[in-house]
């Protein structure tokens, strides 16, 4: 079963958007320059697979494949079979070591030192594998079931959590809000209160107002990502849905002029067809003169060091590119 699930995890395509994909109204129109196509919600371009991957979780070096919408259940089954098989090895190696310990009264020439050393090394190794695969499995599974997030979306969430009080985040959000709902971002009650207390000069967005839209409830999250329960153990069990559109929290969809009903992540550029803003600025200045170009690049750098999505890293020091995402 381990090998079957491993082979499927390697060869099963995570899914890509169809050619000439058109986002629905209310979704980000994110243009992938590499694929010359729009990216569906939750999709990212993988720099290793060189294509857009639906609901991309990360690019896995062990399977040399992306983990995305269509192979998420296969990847989880693979992880669980690794844990089960390796757990068994670990158990029998421990029994063997215990046997050595019980036989410790035997004369030394009765015990093969090489076998003993190999047994100790293998036990340590299998404990290490069990621990590291276990951590990955827990992180992957917990994220999907209890937060509805892929690892990339978890990263986005952590980024927003650490930056929701910055001027840059506020500016992007209010610009996006106006583009989508055609009116100004309502000033936050929390902001009004905070500015009275601590003289905050600029408004900021309260984290409570930002909601991750694809987190329905743990049970539905599981079914959306891993398929129906009867198929979980089957080697070919599939997830629900087509990976192009995703079920959203119903309450958010009713609230259609609220920050919480904006597409995710809410501070993304609305239409990336011309490339991201920073690069476009640099290109324009380049035509005029070199000094201005350099100055612009430096100032761009300083502002991006503060908050840019491309440069931000989470508590583990991971940037977007560590999940395999092509940040261009
Ligand atoms: Zn792409
Ligand atoms: Zn990939």
Q: In the prediction, which pLDDT does 168 show? A: 82
Q: In the prediction, which pLDDT does 275 show? A: 39
Please give the share of the chain, as a percent, with pLDDT higher than 70: 81
The answer to whether residue 52 is catalytic is: no
Q: In the prediction, which pLDDT does 197 show? A: 57
Q: In the prediction, which pLDDT does 182 show? A: 82
For the segment 188-217, what is each residue's pLDDT rounded down to a tens digit?
655 555 555 555 556 777 888 888 999 999
Tokens describing residue 142: 């917990």
For the segment 127-140, what is each residue's pLDDT rounded down to a tens digit?
999 999 999 999 99
Give the closest ligand to the alpha carbon of residue 321.
2
pTM value?
A: 0.79
Residue 277 has pLDDT above 80, yes or no: no
Q: In the prediction, which pLDDT does 44 show? A: 93
Does 17 reside within a domain?
yes
Does 126 reside within a domain?
yes
DSSP letter for each residue of 75-139: HHHHHHHHHHHHHHHHHHHHHHHHHHHHTTTS-GGGS-HHHHHHHHHHHHHHHHHHHHHHHHHHH
Does 71 reside within a domain?
yes
Q: In the prediction, which pLDDT does 51 show? A: 94
Domain boundaries, position 109: 1-147+214-231
Closest alpha carbon to 29 in 18, 40, 15: 40
Confidence label for 301 from pLDDT (cuts 50, 70 and 90): very low
How far away, in angstroms, is 155 Cα from ligand 2 center?
17
Tokens describing residue 154: 């978890």
Q: Which residue has the higher pLDDT, 272 or 63?
A: 63
How far away, in angstroms, is 140 Cα from ligand 1 center?
23
Give the closest ligand to the alpha carbon of residue 10.
2
Q: In the prediction, which pLDDT does 210 show? A: 86
Mean pLDDT along residues 56-68: 93
Confidence label for 305 from pLDDT (cuts 50, 70 and 90): very low
Tokens describing residue 108: 């030394």
How far away, in angstroms, is 321 Cα from ligand 1 center?
14
Does 249 reside within a domain?
no
Q: Where are the beta strands (DSSP E) in the chain?
A: 30-32, 37-39, 44-46, 51-53, 58-60, 65-67
How far away, in angstroms, is 47 Cα from ligand 1 center?
9
Confidence label for 142 from pLDDT (cuts 50, 70 and 90): very high
Q: How many domains does the chain have?
A: 1
Provide the 3-class DSSP secondary structure of residue 67: strand
**Highest-confidence range of 41-50, 157-166, 188-197, by mean pLDDT?**
41-50
Mean pLDDT along residues 273-290: 35
Q: From the candidates 32, 52, 60, 66, give the one annotated as an active-site residue.
A: 60
Does 259 reside within a domain?
no
Does 157 reside within a domain?
no
Provide the 3-class DSSP secondary structure of residue 206: coil
Does 114 reside within a domain?
yes
Does 281 reside within a domain?
no
């Amino acid at each position: 079963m381990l090998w079957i699930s491993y082979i499927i995890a390697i060869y099963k395509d995570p899914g890509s958007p169809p050619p000439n994909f058109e986002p629905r109204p209310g979704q980000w129109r994110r243009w992938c320059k590499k694929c010359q196509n729009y990216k569906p919600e939750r999709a990212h371009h993988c720099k290793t697979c060189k294509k857009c991957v639906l609901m991309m979780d990360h690019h896995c070096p062990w399977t040399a494949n992306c983990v995305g919408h269509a192979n998420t259940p296969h990847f989880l089954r693979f992880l669980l079979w690794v844990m089960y098989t390796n757990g068994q090895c670990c158990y029998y190696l421990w029994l063997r070591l215990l046997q050595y310990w019980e036989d410790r009264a035997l004369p030394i020439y009765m015990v093969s030192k090489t076998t003993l050393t190999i047994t100790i090394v293998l036990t340590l190794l299998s404990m290490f594998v069990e621990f590291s695969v276990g951590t990955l499995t827990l992180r992957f599974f917990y994220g999907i079931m209890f937060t509805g997030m892929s690892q990339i979306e978890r990263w986005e969430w952590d980024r927003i959590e650490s930056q929701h009080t910055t001027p840059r985040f506020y500016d992007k959000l209010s610009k996006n809000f106006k583009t989508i709902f055609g009116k100004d971002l309502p000033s936050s009650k929390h902001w009004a209160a905070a500015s009275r207390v601590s003289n905050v000069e600029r408004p900021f967005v309260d984290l409570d107002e930002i909601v991750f839209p694809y987190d329905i409830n743990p049970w539905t999250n599981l079914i959306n990502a891993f398929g129906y329960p009867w198929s979980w153990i089957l080697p070919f069990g599939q997830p629900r849905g087509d990976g192009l559109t995703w079920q959203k929290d119903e309450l958010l969809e009713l609230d259609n002029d609220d920050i919480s009903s904006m597409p995710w992540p809410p501070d993304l550029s609305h239409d990336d067809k011309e490339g991201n803003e920073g690069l476009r600025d640099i290109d324009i200045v380049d035509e005029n003169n070199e000094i201005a170009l350099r100055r612009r690049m430096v100032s761009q750098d300083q502002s991006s060091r503060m908050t840019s999505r491309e440069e931000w890293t989470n508590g583990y020091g991971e940037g977007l590119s560590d999940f395999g995402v092509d940040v261009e």
